[in-house]
Amino acid sequence: MKDQSVPPGYQDMMSFGLVEALLGRRSRRFFMGAEIPDGVFAYKSKYEPLPLSDMEKYLVVAACGGNTSWHHMIYRAKLYAPHLSNYAGAASGRTFPSAAGFHTSMTFFTDDEGVYVLESRDDEACSARNDDGSLDFDHIVGAVKTRIRKLRDGRLLLPPEVPYVEAHNTWVVNHPGTLLVIPVGDLAQHFLLNLCYMLQNGLVLYDDINRRAVPGIERFSDIVDIDNVWPITFAEQASLSEITAELSTGCYAGSLMLQAMGLGGWMFNGIDPFSMLGASGENGPPGLGFRYDTDEDRWPYPNPTGLEEVMEGYCPPHFSDMREAVDAVCNRKFGPGGPFNPETPGPWKDSRKVRSAASVHDEHFRACVALQAQYVYDTFGKFPATVPSIFVSMYLQAHHLDLDFYNEFYKPGAYLGTHSEHMKRWHP
């Protein structure tokens, strides 16, 4: 970001204060080109929609899901000391936290030009920190640009109408000129990683729905107390809560960036998740185009499982069975580029020593995890049993504010100095 084309607003953003971003964060929905046809806020913008520039788009996406150097690991648990905790699924961190470093989500986004995915989930660190601990944000944004994959031309095909979009969002969401960021979580993989976490900490699943233990679990009494259990419903709800936090904090990071850049927008969940993923039926909108299954006798909702060759959930039909999915999770953790592979670089003085300190999941461990996972899939016809395999919850929209609307209806102070100066500083 050092060339002459960088607008002065970029340096304003880089020096913007965290406290100002926190206290100045508001949902600012009325964009250039918008219209509210009736009610107390009836107003029609006199401007044409103004899409975000490429630089603005990259900055927002980088804030929502950019790679921020190496994950620092979880150091110790008494149960398996002196081995290093081996929970993490990725070697690098991103702009948001993830439970135990699982990092199972991917960042999709759409604008007038197309639908995209940021492929940074399993990247090595794009930029190591400097000796003083600083990290060059230019490198983060540069890495984002190289890791964006365009999936199709044109804006996401999700009409801003009920029932696809909640009634209070139809006038504003996914309209021309807007950028919509869509974090998507692989809840099947997240739950698998939690089954590994449970076994490492002396726990196995119990089927509280059918009131029975997992058949065959007694074969593993040599490595776990089979009477120390978490119910399926609790373990899956915990996984859902954790991945929701991951998706939400990515959007929150993006919302803070909007204040620093002087862009309008907000984070919200007012889009039907099944419509967004493309699971709203044969006559529904294609959304992101994820494949899905239905079973009206056992599930109240369709179950999205993955987008082929883009984001395939760790469950059938993308894997032949749950054992294959378990092996894939283990390869992500211990294979090339994984957080516990000795050859993966890291932030430590002796990264090989650190990464080698974690015990590898052996055949007996994998078989125990696979037994539980396969039981869930065979019993309930899907994995996980009670929550979606692929999950979307929170979104971030970014757009250019129509300040005339706020001047018309609000007292001074409804927007920040970065908003009032945005056009002059970013689009001179």
| 296 within domain boundaries | yes
| 277 within domain boundaries | yes
Residue 404: strand, helix, or coil: helix
For the chain, what is the mean pLDDT? 95
Distance of CA 339 to CAs 147, 324, 327, Å?
20, 20, 15
| Helix ranges, 262-380 (H) | 273-277, 322-334, 351-355, 363-380
* pLDDT recorded at residue 253: 98
pLDDT digits (tens, 9 = 90+) for 17-62: 999 999 999 999 999 999 999 999 999 999 999 999 999 999 999 9
| 141 within domain boundaries | yes
pTM for this model (two decimals): 0.95
Which one is predicted more confidently, 69 or 202?
A: 202
Q: Does the structure show a pLDDT above 70 at 216?
A: yes
pLDDT digits (tens, 9 = 90+) for 360-413: 999 999 999 999 999 999 999 999 999 999 999 999 999 999 999 999 999 999
Produce one character per residue of 233-247: b if its CB has 16 or more CB atoms within 10 Å, e if not: bebbebbbebbbbbb
Cβ–Cβ under 8 Å, residues 302 and 274: yes
Within 8 A by CB and 6+ apart from 378, the residues are none
Q: Where are the beta strands (DSSP E) in 22-79?
A: 35-36, 43-44, 67-70
Produce one character per residue of 128-166: b if its CB has 16 or more CB atoms within 10 Å, e if not: eeeeeeeeebebbbbbbeebbeeeeeebbebeeeeebbe
* pLDDT recorded at residue 328: 98
pLDDT digits (tens, 9 = 90+) for 245-278: 999 999 999 999 999 999 999 999 999 999 999 9
- Could you tell me the pLDDT band of residue 133, with boundaries at 50, 70 and 90? confident
**Residue 184 in tokens:** 């998507």
Among 181, 172, 180, smallest CA distance to 45 is for: 172
| 329 within domain boundaries | yes
Q: Across residues 132-138, what is the average pLDDT?
A: 73
| 1 within domain boundaries | no
Per the document, the length of the chain is 428
pLDDT digits (tens, 9 = 90+) for 408-418: 999 999 999 99
State the CATH number of the domain containing residue 405: 3.40.109.10
* pLDDT recorded at residue 135: 66
Q: Across residues 318-328, what is the average pLDDT?
A: 98
- Could you tell me the pLDDT band of residue 137, with boundaries at 50, 70 and 90? confident
* pLDDT recorded at residue 378: 98
Q: Across residues 342-364, what is the average pLDDT?
A: 95
Among 372, 384, 330, smallest CA distance to 223 is for: 372
User: In terms of residue numbers, what domain contains 418?
Assistant: 8-426
Q: Give φ, ψ of 44 to 5 degrees.
A: -125, 125
| 113 within domain boundaries | yes
Q: Across residues 95-100, what is the average pLDDT?
A: 95
* pLDDT recorded at residue 2: 47
Cβ–Cβ under 8 Å, residues 266 and 254: no
Check the CA dihedral 8-13-14-19 and report its sign: positive
d(CA 258, CA 355): 37
| 299 within domain boundaries | yes
* pLDDT recorded at residue 69: 87
pLDDT > 70: percent of the chain: 98
Cβ–Cβ under 8 Å, residues 393 and 269: yes
Q: Does the structure show a pLDDT above 80 at 125?
A: no
Q: Does the structure show a pLDDT above 70 at 1?
A: no
Q: Which residue has the tokens 């996401």?
A: 156
* pLDDT recorded at residue 79: 86
Residue 319: strand, helix, or coil: coil
d(CA 194, CA 29): 38
Pairing of strands 212-213, 179-186: unpaired
pLDDT digits (tens, 9 = 90+) for 74-93: 998 888 889 999 999 999 99
Angle between helix axes 322-334 and 363-380 (nearest 10 degrees) is 140
- Domains identified in the chain, total number: 1
Pairing of strands 303-307, 390-392: unpaired
Q: Does the structure show a pLDDT above 60 at 179?
A: yes
Q: How many CB atoms lie within 10 A of CB 359?
A: 15
- Could you tell me the pLDDT band of residue 357, with boundaries at 50, 70 and 90? very high
| 2 within domain boundaries | no
**Residue 33 in tokens:** 């080109």
Cβ–Cβ under 8 Å, residues 140 and 67: yes
